[in-house]
Amino acid sequence: MSESVRLDAWLWAVRVYKTRSAATTACRAGHVRVGGEKVKASQPVRVGDEVRVRIAGFDRILIVRQLLAKRVGAPLAALAADDRTPAREPVAQLAVRDRGAGRPTKRERRDIDRLRGRE
């Protein structure tokens, strides 16, 4: 087996991106770094390289453990990369309006009208 693999093929094989062309596009946009440097999709990666991928505003930090040029099953793909991404803080959920607070819903307005005798 060779000592290096194209970066875009490796990112696709370990299931960071759904397609190889999406991995190539991310490299062109500067969302992928190897060893702290922005790289092209054709950059060779070797075992032990640190790959940082920016997805949805957050960096994923992956260490290359195994070289894959072709897509494999998910359990094998998980073994090919060591994920060192720090845990993210949970995102606050949108507040849900308590029933009866704020502007009444259409159903609540109808009930109020019935109580007032305006039907």
Tell me if 63 sits within 8 A of 46, measured CB to CB. Answer: no
Structure tokens that stand for 30 in this block: 């500067």
Residue 94's pLDDT is 58
Domain boundaries, the chain: 5-83
CATH of domain 5-83: 3.10.290.10
Within 5-93, strands assigned E span 5-6, 32-34, 37-38, 44-45, 50-55, 58-64, 81-83
Q: Lowest mean pLDDT: which of 13-17, 54-58, 80-84, 115-119?
A: 115-119
- Which of 17, 15, 10, 18 has the alpha carbon at shortest distance from 47? 10
- Which of 50, 37, 59, 38 has the alpha carbon at shortest distance from 10? 50
Give the pTM. 0.72
Residue 27's pLDDT is 94
Measure the N-to-C terminal CA separation of the chain; round to a whole number of Å.
Answer: 80
